[in-house]
Structure 1
Amino acid sequence: MITTVETALVIDDDALMREFIVETLRRNGIAVTETSNGLDAKRMLEERQFDMAFIDLKMPGLDGMQILKFMKTSHIGTLPVIITAFGTVEKAVEAMRNGAYDFLMKPFSPEQVEIIVNRAKDWAGLQAQNTYLKEELGWILPHGRQMVGQSASICKLMKDVKQVAASNSTVLVTGESGTGKELVALAIHSLSERSSQPFIRMNCAAVPDALMDSELFGHEKGSFTSAVTRRIGRFELAHHGTLLLDEISEMNVGVQAKLLRVLQEHEFERVGGSNTIHTDCRLIATTNRNLKEQVDKGAFRQDLYYRLNVVPIVAPPLRDRPEDIPLLVKAFIQRFSQNRGKNAPVISLSDEAMAGLQRYPWPGNVRELENLIERLCVMEQGTEVGIEKLPMDGHSLPAAVAAESDGPSDAMFSIPDIEHRTILRALKATGGNRRRSAELLGISIRTLRNKLNLYRATSRMPEDI
């Protein structure tokens, strides 16, 4: 399957016609190989990868129909365009049934060739985007979702999003895990002039370092052992649209240098390729870390930090906007009530339960609240949910709230201490299973591993975990 249109093979025994097609394609920036007979064409198709092939239907020896059938049985992904003379329309129709992408009826103009090429480019782009969406496990664009709240912090966030969306500037969205940084990025894209173009996401923490270049910039066939076909990277997929780099603090320094070049020059090369590709996409980066501290530690490039931090936006933690919790609960109940079945009543929370939710510190932020409401919509049989039915991190809500408010210790106000206790509780609740703990906490396995390494280095890791 092709994902771009950059190369073409022209097969025609008529030298003038062949030269005409070759010149038209080259004027459109396509690298062209030509041949006058079907046997040479068959050998070339076996040895090299072409994005398109323009094939004359009637040639001595191996004709166009035979080449087409060979391509189909050999599963060659090149898009074939059949060239036919007037009076052989039936043959053209037969060719289309045998896998031809399109056909040109002689005589034809350069504009007709360009129309077919542009149509093929659009088709290839859609195929690349479809492949990306299939590979992006678990990721569904949250259409219909919205930022909910009336607090001062969320109103400021919404105002900033609207203002930033009108520009093309790079945006850095910071905030704790679960605060909705991806939703902020999607809102910026949806309100921008690029809203009709692709919104492409890549979680930097989920991509191994060895594959980061290929994921971002793509690769050519044969550029490394497992590169059995050309792959389009995220920057090409996001052309004219928006590229979200989630958890950008997890990107290694080597790739950071290449990313800096793209932000400065708006161009790059695929892995194993020599052609420079120009890109026009808006970049939004998110992180739950303090990038300035990462710069000071040498873990993040200072020049890239300043390139990303053109427009900083902070997603506020849920504990700082408890007045928004009733609105969020209502929105989540409406969304998840369909999971209760047709005749099941819609649940509601008692006043005491709602007050308890507003007192809880929410280390997992909005994601933790969302997961809780979904669980209640699925599991609760009654209509009203009391405070005693709200399990928080393996404990009842009153116990969880009390644990955070017991005694006058300064540690209860320390975010790192709250984070430390929450991570240890998650590990105990899952029997030490790191992947499950990361899912409960709403963070990546790499982030959890970094936290645990820090706790070991500072002797804050219990021996029983």
Structure 2
Amino acid sequence: MSLPDILVIDDEKVICHSLEKVLKKEGYRVETAQTAKEGMDQMKQAYFPLIFLDLKLPDENGMDVLRRVREEQPDTLVIIITGYASVQSAVEAMKLGAYDYLSKPFTPDEIRVVIRRAVEKLDLTMENVYLKNALRSSARPDDIVGESKSIQELLHIISRVGPTDSTVLIIGESGTGKELVARAIHRSSMRTERPFIAVDCGSLVETLFVFGHVKGSFTGAVSTKHGRLELANNGTIFLDEIGNLSLNTQAKLLRALQEQEITKVGSSQPIKIDIRIICATNQDLMKRVKEGTFREDLYYRISVVPIQIPPLRDRKEDIGLLAHYFIHKYSERRKKDVKGISSKAMRILVQYDWPGNVRELENVLERAIVLSNGTRIEPEDLFYPANIADRRSWIGSEPVRLEDVEKEHIAKVLEIASGNKSEAARLLGIDRKTLRSRLIKYGIESPAHE
């Protein structure tokens, strides 16, 4: 883990200055605040794994500030500093979750000792997070990461509904991790050793893909094909964006759920199935029901247990943990030596609203790791639509067209991918067809490597 950024909250400027001086000599980045309000405002703008907090502040009791820090950022280590040292205050602070305790006046050596212990604790905590993720499932590349109240409630619901065989409807915006939730439910069920089949209802030949067909049932049917419902037998089928199914396929799916059997296209022989259904949507299906474009009986059949996934903008306290998770993941995958992220870069991540949610954050950080030349991600490594206008190093003093910025970035990513269009499209977070149209539009040439 890289050296953590540190926030010092103390009303005495001399204390802030002395701590800042000692810690900066040790290689840490330090921010200071003289009041509780200033400190909490800085915490909203950036992620601080370590905080030095004075118990005697002009606008709020330090114990109350400690409580708020523990509630809003439970993974942050707080070191109490005070000139009013007593066993009682130390014990109270420790009970509230403070990591350590320093009494004024303290020496530089005392600061170095306590900070060294705190960093070792942070390193151990992060290692445990990664080990737990790895041990849960060697076949699982991603996990549901977060310490926010909404994510903890989501994990609790998953633990309750998983062991049942109830049909689940996962509701959430694109990029929030609906398939991750579906896989987590499957893993905690009695069907965990059975197949998990994911179906994107927005990109399939519905009837043939879901139900399968027999040889000779139509022109081009040269062999019998098993549908996804049959392949999921005894396991779980995940129907992503179920709102995209036509009314005709909705009727067939409802019948399959009610009868627990399917019939291949071109066959009259029913096949018994035993499956669990998990569906997902980013649409208001009840509104679709009222409009007559989604069957009401199917809606109630699939939404026995509805689960709402919060958008990332509503759980910004998880951005720090998610960022470090993705940095660790892609630094290893890309064989890069990126170990952390600067306070300024983290501030940018926290301030952005992430319309593409966790998927967009992951893409931004993967690109940042690929583009970074250092051991920390800096603001200039970040690229997403909201900060294009602030990239002064790209646009100079004169305004530039958005298309010019996009053209330059696509060319740069294509060069990083050594002309591999599939890899470049993945890094850019778009499909190959979209990339191809952009290359033609901007007249960008690339090697023949696909």
- Into which bin does the TM-score normalised by the smaller protein fall? 0.5 to 0.7
Judged with a 3 Å threshold, the aligned counterparts in structure 2 of structure 1 residues 329 and 156 are, in CA distance, closer, same or farther, namely: same
1:202: Cα distance to partner?
0.9
The structure 2 residue matched to 1:194, chosen from 188, 191, 195, is 191
**Distance in 2 separating the partners of 1:233 and 1:173:** 23
Contact 2:166 2:304 in 1 (8 A): yes
RMSD: 3.1
1:353: Cα distance to partner?
1.4
Is 1:392 the equivalent of 2:389?
Answer: no
The structure 2 residue matched to 1:250, chosen from 241, 244, 256, is 244
The aligned counterpart of 2:114 is: none
3-state SS in 1 of match to 2:154: helix
Contact 1:247 1:288 in 2 (8 A): yes
1:212: Cα distance to partner?
1.1
Contact 2:233 2:275 in 1 (8 A): yes
The aligned counterpart of 1:273 is: 267
For structure 1, list consecutive stretches of 5 or more residues without a partner in the other structure: 1-140, 401-424, 446-465
TM-score in terms of structure 2 length: 0.56
**Distance in 2 separating the partners of 1:191 and 1:440:** 33
The aligned counterpart of 1:318 is: 312
The structure 2 residue matched to 1:150, chosen from 123, 147, 150, is 147
The structure with more radius of gyration? 1
The aligned counterpart of 2:368 is: 376
5 Å-filtered alignment, 1:38-437, equals 143-207=140-204, 211-341=205-335, 344-393=336-385, 395-396=387-388, 429=406
**Distance in 2 separating the partners of 1:442 and 1:352:** 27
1:442: Cα distance to partner?
7.2
For structure 2, list consecutive stretches of 5 or more residues without a partner in the other structure: 1-137, 393-401, 411-423, 434-450
1:225: Cα distance to partner?
0.5
**Distance in 2 separating the partners of 1:430 and 1:153:** 39
3-state SS in 2 of match to 1:223: coil
TM-score in terms of structure 1 length: 0.55
3-state SS in 2 of match to 1:277: strand
3-state SS in 2 of match to 1:206: coil
**Distance in 1 separating the partners of 2:268 and 2:340:** 60
Count of residues in correspondence between the two structures: 275
Judged with a 3 Å threshold, the aligned counterparts in structure 2 of structure 1 residues 361 and 293 are, in CA distance, closer, same or farther, namely: same
1:276: Cα distance to partner?
1.0
Judged with a 3 Å threshold, the aligned counterparts in structure 2 of structure 1 residues 396 and 345 are, in CA distance, closer, same or farther, namely: same
**Distance in 2 separating the partners of 1:157 and 1:238:** 25
Contact 2:363 2:427 in 1 (8 A): no
Judged with a 3 Å threshold, the aligned counterparts in structure 2 of structure 1 residues 218 and 338 are, in CA distance, closer, same or farther, namely: same
3-state SS in 2 of match to 1:391: coil
**Distance in 2 separating the partners of 1:379 and 1:287:** 34
* Residue identity opposite 1:325 in structure 2: I
Contact 1:390 1:397 in 2 (8 A): no
1:377: Cα distance to partner?
1.5
